[in-house]
């Protein structure tokens, strides 16, 4: 927060002004870390207030104090996840070998939904047969979705608790994090010790009370954007979880409403990745399957996302997509996933080299202005 004092302010009143500001902050439950005075060349004197929760201080309370001309906030409403609040990218260690952010790339892979025991094992074993070079810093997590949030009441809604032993078996076998969708607050407790990542799907993307509950957990939260969300809304929902105490939030871009539903499931919104990277320190993942919805397009979307600097991918892989109970149309075969892994690694290494070179030469912006 910046506080501009009246023109030609008498510095003899500085102590008085600071005391009044600290008193207002204390009434709002805010402890001020520092108040820095800056006498500019324009004749205006500025006080920069540094505190963790300046958003709790109403601007009008400060503007009504003697000698104060105006007040400006330095941080957006989603302050705790803002790169202006802390420019360092957030690294999240999820479980075992799975981590994301601060240079670590996470590929969350598996069937859209867990359907049959042996089929699930076959898919996961095939995925784990693919190895990545250490310099790419690439890691894997599994999709272990036993619950599915469907539009139609007549659609298959997942295998539910019957799939838990299969998910646990693969998690233990490979020491890799597993994700499932969370749709209601009561689900959180029963997922303890089974899943490491709880994904908030696009149909739940504005469920504020669910966000509050997830903020009190230690789960890594994959937060998908709603089909009609703006970027500011998306970031505010993430902030709600972080403000509750859980900093392990990953932003998952899964496309927005399309004007071409005949050809695309969604508009991919790939440009959200670079924009979000300039605004927030949270890791950003691109869901290349649910965004475009057709396997012929998934590969191109995947490569574009990696090349533009996303911190991870989410991809559907299925050994028998023709008999998948949900979203088989967008699932890659395991052998296609294996073939694509080589190109994804190359794109990842090329992005890292480009990023290093641009930073070295000062070409990269540090922040975007919200």
d(CA 271, CA 89) in angstroms, rounded, equals: 19
Residue that is written with structure tokens 């290349």 in the block? 288
| Unique residue bearing structure tokens 């994804």 | 344
Would you place residue 168 in the very low, low, confident or very high pLDDT band (cuts 50, 70, 90)? very high
> Is 70 exceeded by the pLDDT of residue 364?
no
Segment 282-303, tens digit of pLDDT: 999 999 999 998 899 999 999 9
Strand pairing class (105-110; 284-287): unpaired
Closest CA to 316 of 300, 295, 344, 297: 295
- Give me the pLDDT at residue 143, please: 96
Query: 10 Å Cβ neighbour count for 145?
Result: 26
Any idea which residue has 């892979």 for tokens? 109
Q: Quick one: DSSP state of residue 220?
A: E
CATH topology of domain 2-74: Alpha-Beta Plaits (3.30.70)
Percent of the chain with pLDDT over 70: 97
* Per-residue 3-state assignment (H helix, E strand, C coil) for 289-331: HHHHCCHHHHHHHHHHHHHCCCCEEEEEECCCHHHCCCCHHHC
Q: What is the mean pLDDT of residues 146-160?
A: 88
Structure tokens given for 148:
């599915």
Q: What tokens were used for 327?
A: 């979203």
| 159 touches 181 (CB < 8 A) | no
Q: What distance in Å separates the CA atoms of residue 214 and residue 154, rounded to the nearest whole number?
A: 29
Neighbour tally for 335: CB within 10 Å: 11
Strand pairing report for 45-50 and 34-39: antiparallel
At what angle are helices 164-174 and 117-128 packed, to 10 degrees? 20
Q: How far is the C-alpha of 182 from the C-alpha of 145, rounded, in Å?
A: 9
The yes-or-no verdict on residue 365 having pLDDT over 70 is no
CATH architecture assigned to 92-360: Alpha-Beta Barrel (3.20)
The per-residue pLDDT for range 237-272, each reduced to its tens digit, is 999 999 999 999 999 999 888 888 888 888 889 999
Domain extents for the chain?
A: 2-74, 92-360
CB–CB of 107/302 below 8 Å? Answer: no
Q: Do the domains 92-360 and 2-74 match in fold?
A: no
Average pLDDT, the chain: 92
- The helix or strand, by DSSP H or E, that contains position 348, with its residue range, turns out to be helix 334-360
Identify the pLDDT of residue 44. 75
Give one DSSP letter per residue of 3-70, joined into a string.
EEEPTT--GGGHHHHHHHHHHHHHHTT----EEEEEE-TTS-EEEEEE-TTGGGS-HHHHHTSTTEEE
pLDDT of residue 332: 96
Do residues 183 and 211 lie in contact, with contact meaning Cβ atoms separated by under 8 Å? no
Output the pTM of the full model.
0.86
CB 88 within 8 A of CB 102: yes
- What confidence tens digit (pLDDT) does each residue in 291-340 have? 998 899 999 999 999 999 999 999 999 999 999 999 889 999 999 999 99
């Amino acid at each position: 927060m910046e506080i501009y004092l009246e023109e030609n302010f008498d510095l003899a009143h500085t102590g008085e002004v600071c005391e009044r500001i600290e008193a207002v902050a204390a009434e709002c439950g805010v402890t001020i870390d520092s108040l820095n005075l800056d006498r500019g060349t324009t004749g205006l004197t500025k006080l920069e207030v540094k505190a963790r929760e300046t958003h709790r201080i109403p601007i009008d309370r400060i503007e009504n104090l003697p000698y104060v001309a105006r007040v400006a906030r330095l941080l957006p409403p989603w302050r705790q996840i803002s790169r202006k609040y802390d420019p360092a990218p957030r690294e999240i260690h999820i479980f075992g070998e799975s981590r994301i952010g601060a240079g670590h790339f996470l590929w969350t892979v598996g069937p859209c939904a867990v359907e049959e025991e042996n089929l699930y094992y076959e898919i996961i074993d095939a995925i784990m047969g693919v190895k990545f070079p250490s310099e790419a810093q690439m890691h894997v997590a599994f999709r272990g979705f036993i619950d599915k949030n469907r539009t139609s009441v007549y659609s298959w809604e997942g295998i539910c608790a019957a799939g838990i032993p299969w998910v646990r078996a693969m998690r233990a076998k490979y020491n890799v994090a597993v994700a499932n969708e969370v749709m209601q607050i009561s689900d959180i407790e029963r997922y303890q010790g089974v899943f490491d990542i709880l994904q908030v799907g696009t149909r739940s993307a504005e469920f504020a009370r669910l966000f509050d509950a997830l903020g009190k957990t230690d789960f890594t939260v994959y937060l998908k954007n709603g089909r009609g969300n703006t970027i500011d809304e998306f970031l505010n929902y993430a902030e709600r979880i972080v403000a509750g105490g859980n900093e392990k939030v990953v932003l998952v871009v899964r496309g927005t409403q399309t004007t071409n539903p005949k050809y695309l499931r969604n508009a991919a919104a790939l440009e959200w990745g670079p924009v979000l990277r300039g605004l927030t320190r949270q890791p950003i993942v691109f869901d290349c399957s649910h965004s475009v919805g057709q396997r012929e397009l998934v590969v191109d979307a995947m490569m574009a996302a990696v090349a533009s600097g996303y911190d991870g991918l989410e991809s559907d892989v299925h050994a028998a997509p023709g008999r998948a109970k949900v979203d088989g149309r967008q699932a890659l075969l395991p052998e296609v996933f294996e073939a694509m892994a080589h190109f994804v690694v190359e794109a990842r290494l090329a992005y890292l080299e480009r990023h290093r070179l641009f930073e070295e030469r000062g070409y990269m912006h540090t922040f975007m202005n919200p």
